[in-house]
Amino acid sequence: MDLVELTEHIVKSLVTDEDSVSVKEFPTEEENVILIQVMVSEEDIGRVIGREGRTANAIRTLVQASSALKENKYVKIDIDKF
């Protein structure tokens, strides 16, 4: 499972409207950095970010750990709403 699929799986398990989840990877200028953008509906943004950002940080930690095992690249995850 690649990093985008992993991120999408985690986010979809948290939200109520799975069809509104969009996860895409974007190129960066830095060679060792991967940027993943997560878009969710306005109703689900609180579930994905969590209280004081704890859920978002947990998602970032899991995806970064997976990257360290496979690609060894730094992962940036940007979470936003529609």
Burial class (CB in 10 A: 0-12, 13-18, 19+), 76: middle
Query: H helices within 1-82, ranges in order?
Result: 3-14, 45-49, 54-70
3-class secondary-structure state, position 22: strand
Total Cβ atoms within 10 A of residue 13: 8
pLDDT value for 13:
95
CA–CA dist 67, 61 (Å, integer): 10
Q: Which amino acid is at 53?
A: G
Q: Architecture of domain 3-81 in CATH?
A: 2-Layer Sandwich (3.30)
pLDDT value for 72:
86
pLDDT one-digit tens code per residue, 39-81: 999 999 999 999 999 999 999 999 999 999 988 889 999 999 9
Sequence spans of domains, the chain:
3-81
pLDDT value for 82:
84
